[in-house]
Amino acid sequence: MRTEAEAAGPPLEPGDFVQLPVPVIQQLYHWDCGLACSRMVLRYLGQLDDNEFERALQELQLTRSIWTIDLAYLMHHFGVRHRFCTQTLGVDKGYKNQSFYRKHFDTEETRVNQLFAQAKACKVLVEKCTVSVQDIQAHLAQGHVAIVLVNSGVLHCDLCSSPVKYCCFAPSGHRCFCRTPDYQGHFIVLRGYNRATGCIFYNNPAYADPGMCSTSISNFEEARTSYGTDEDILFVYLDS
């Protein structure tokens, strides 16, 4: 006869389960998910000052069109050690005809490409590289966090109520953009994982409840590698 411990399986080794205490901060508008994620990260690091954050947004001219490179510059502004990994060093011209990018593409292309071009001189660390789930887990295991660009139409939380109480881009009662089959870019904050169950823990700024979201690694991978994301991931380090 097996004991309860034996029935439960082998104990988890250090690094098999990580759940970091990253606070949830909900986005205010349909466009500011990246800024909400940045606030979460800065608060986790103990560096969030609301007045300074607003000044930084004005200085960096961050308005209604936020790209991952903008968030990298924002981390640099606060002296936060970071590493921005992407598949495209600049704007992919193939996105011009995508509904998500179409409205701001022409006005944003030059600005975003200039940010990439000036990154090295501005000490903003950007690399063209491929990141594996194992790389992400190793990063989280050290107490660090990451902001990831995903396709919200693909990402599914196993903990959230169904049907969805809050849309990824609009308050309850408004048209839900995430129900379209087209790409819908959205930023989330990674905060842990469970190797035994094969899941990833994250904060979704579109949700006030349940506070922490969870999805399978396969769903996470599908969402973060969807065409339109460039597989953008902004690694942020605790020892900043």
- Report the CATH number that the domain containing residue 159 is assigned in CATH: 3.90.70.10
Q: Looking at the domain assignment, is residue 8 inside a domain? A: no
Dump pLDDT digits (tens) for 98-129.
Answer: 656 656 666 788 889 999 999 999 999 999 99
- Structural domain range at position 42: 17-236
Residue 212 in this model has a pLDDT that exceeds 70: yes
Higher pLDDT, 69 or 93: 69
- Whole-prediction pTM: 0.86
Q: Looking at the domain assignment, is residue 3 inside a domain? A: no
Q: Looking at the domain assignment, is residue 180 inside a domain? A: yes
Residue 239: per-residue pLDDT: 83
Q: Looking at the domain assignment, is residue 2 inside a domain? A: no
Residue 11 in this model has a pLDDT that exceeds 50: no
Residue 237 in this model has a pLDDT that exceeds 90: yes
* 148, 233 Cβ separation under 8 angstroms: yes
Residue count of the chain: 240
Query: How many structural domains is the chain composed of?
Result: 1
Lowest mean pLDDT, pick from 71-75, 106-110, 123-127, 217-221: 106-110
Tokens 């969030």 map to which residue? 48
CA dist 35 and 33 (Å) reads: 5
